[in-house]
Structure 1
Amino acid sequence: MESLDELDLTDCWLLKKYPHISTNIPETTKEEIPVRSRLELRISHWENLGVLSHAFKYIGKLHLRDKRIHEISPWIKELSRLQKLVIKGCTKLVSLPQLPDSLRYIDAENCESLERLHCSFHNREFDGLHFANCFKLSQEARDLIIKTSTSRFALLPGAKVPPHFTYRATGSFLSVKLNGVDTNFATSLRLKACVMLVDKGDIEVGDWTKVEIIHRMKEKQNGVNVTRRSIRYQSQLLKKHLCIFHVEERVRSSELVFEFEINDEKWEIGECGILYPQP
């Protein structure tokens, strides 16, 4: 299997021996990363994955779908090129171990028993952290997810905007007054926004929600709309959730007005918040 790009062993419950994955690939430059350095592996049971240890450094995406497991073995830290971890639907999983520094995306949707994250993210930026319907997350785990920087968004259960957000408001409108902004010149801002999504009571288990959160930022002094951008994702959300993302823009005013909007009629925005400056 010298050209293997994806290996899907989902639901192969009677499999007794994993296929051999060749590691006989030539040395390349960083600009010529071999295909196998991003091997996508999908498995339902993980007990015997150690027999593939010779191929660990080639696994870039790992999908685990074992509904029986309570924890993942620490060997996952050895996946030095792992960028995407999908543990979606592992309903009995209670904790996550230390994860490799290469990781950039975690999808733990519907891990309803997940409580603890025995890991740190080393102040690095993720593409996304998806913890929808993980209602048993400890406060320590929630704080870790909320404080981690993401280029897209972080999603997790939550009934209110965290108190460490500098500005908070009920509803979808928020006024912000920033210190240190020179109104004579355009200033680059990087803010962290948080919105609390509230279902209107029409959501049922199994319903898919295609969410688009639109955020607008207006300079209060001159009424100019600085930006209009959106966050899109698809999920089976239940109850209240927090969606956290970054807002980056150049402004000439120290007083800004934010407006957030959600395009799904079954959901509304209960609270919103802005963190500035970021720690």
Structure 2
Amino acid sequence: MAETRHTKVLIIGSGPAGYTAGVYASRAMLEPILVQGIEPGGQLTTTTEVENYPGFTEVQGPDLMIKMQEHAQAMGCEIIGDIITDLDLSKRPFTAKGDSGNTYTADAVILATGARAKWLGMESEEKFKGFGVSACATCDGFFYRSQEIVVVGGGNTAVEEALFLTNFASKVTLIHRRDELRAEKILQNRLEKNPKIETLWFNQLDEVYGTDAPLGVEGVKVKNVKTGEITDIPCKGVFIAIGHAPASELVKDTLDTHMGGYVVTKPGTTQTSVPGVFAAGDLTDHIYRQAVTSAGMGCMAALDAERFLAEQDD
């Protein structure tokens, strides 16, 4: 039976930003409701070892997110497994509609919807998506034991995926359109030392090909960006690792955005262009994009929301 729930603070999203906002909003006695969204736990649930979160020399991404969720719940945050499909920010209380049919009204909203993997937008990529083409090595790497794999990209995501995939693959070919990587030096060093990884410079993915019945990848054609020469690389899996785009679909027409959809916040705060609406984490951050900075912004958003609500009561 569909119902309407009211809360002082509605938190939308459940990565480090959302759960940390839940902890702080709960401690401020705001009795927040957190709606987890399409990917409970966010991007960290699709990574393996996390080595750069303070307090953990090494922790599995999904385990870290479970701990954060449990922490928020222990503080009193109500966590709901629903997906917000519509958000009306035109008047207070704000109104959010869930995929479940439930409606949530709130005096303040904290947006922590994060970011999602980017795709190249190729027809052949779309055809084999889920059948050999993936954007998540930790989700799908297991399926390519002793197989040859291709990774596309040149940043941290691509190098991390390539390194992780060597746990399963017989060979990983990293395709990058430039002649140097953007990844952190420590990751580049690991890549260079790994005998299973070969880097193909100045190339970009031109086509993914394979079988139709059953649907499956057999290889890729890559194009040299300088000479135009096409090279054929046999492989069973193709991992697209070209970064992420902010998940701002809910608010792209109501809040100020920039840099391809990132929500704009006032400098030094999490305030958006609508009073009472706050944004934190990868939804707003096109520079750092780290779990620890997202958690910090989740804290800021809860404190900003608390101050906002206190001012309304004056």
Shorter-chain TM range is under 0.3
Higher helix share: 2
TM-score (norm 2): 0.24
Q: Which has the higher strand share?
A: 1
TM-score under structure 1 length normalisation: 0.26
